[in-house]
């Protein structure tokens, strides 16, 4: 069977020729991402603090809030909540205390997470 043709490495600035299926030379194998990666980039849910105890607490908060999105409820709508969110996020000093948690629907949780990420990026930018 003929050999696969050599191609340049996909790593920026590297032109080393290789025959690897993943597109990277032997030196840049760690650049390969996708379904073959064996460990999550941020660690497992347990490593990030969302293990069994969190799952129990999450269920307790959803039950406490009647499985309703609290953001929607404040605006007079009844929407099924599937997420539990930190009111003050952990990166800003929030805790896993029940008083700092509320149920949210997926769209409101996603919007709040994006807003917090944007605020964090803005804080990290140097002032000119």
Sequence ranges of the domains in the chain: 1-42, 46-124
Q: Which residue from 64, 119, 45 is spatially nearest to 88, judged by alpha carbons?
A: 119
Please determine, for residue 109, whether its predicted confidence score (pLDDT) is greater than 90: yes
pTM for this predicted structure: 0.63
Q: For position 20, what pLDDT does the model report?
A: 84
**CA angle at 116 for the pair 112 and 121, rounded to the nearest 5°:** 150
In this prediction, residue 87 has a pLDDT band, given cuts at 50, 70 and 90, of very high
Residues 42, 36 contacting (CB under 8 angstroms): no
**Average pLDDT estimate for 62-66:** 97
Q: How confident is the model at residue 3 (pLDDT cuts 50, 70, 90)?
A: confident
Reading the block at residue 48, the tokens are: 């990030």
Identify the band that residue 38 occupies on the pLDDT scale cut at 50, 70 and 90. Answer: low
Are the beta carbons of 86 and 94 closer than 8 angstroms? yes
Kindly compute the dihedral angle of the four CA atoms of residues 18, 21, 24, 26, in this order, to the nearest 10 degrees: -60
């Amino acid at each position: 069977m003929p050999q696969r043709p050599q191609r340049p490495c996909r790593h920026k600035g590297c032109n080393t020729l290789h025959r690897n299926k993943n597109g990277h030379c032997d030196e840049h194998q760690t650049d390969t991402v996708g379904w073959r990666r064996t460990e999550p980039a941020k660690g497992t849910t347990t490593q990030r603090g969302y293990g069994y105890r969190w799952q129990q607490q999450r269920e307790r908060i959803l039950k406490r809030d009647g499985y309703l999105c609290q953001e929607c409820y404040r605006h007079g709508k009844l929407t099924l909540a599937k997420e539990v969110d930190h009111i003050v996020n952990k990166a800003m000093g929030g805790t896993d205390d029940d008083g700092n948690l509320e149920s949210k629907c997926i769209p409101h949780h996603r919007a709040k997470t994006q807003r917090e990420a944007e605020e964090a990026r803005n804080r990290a930018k140097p002032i000119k």
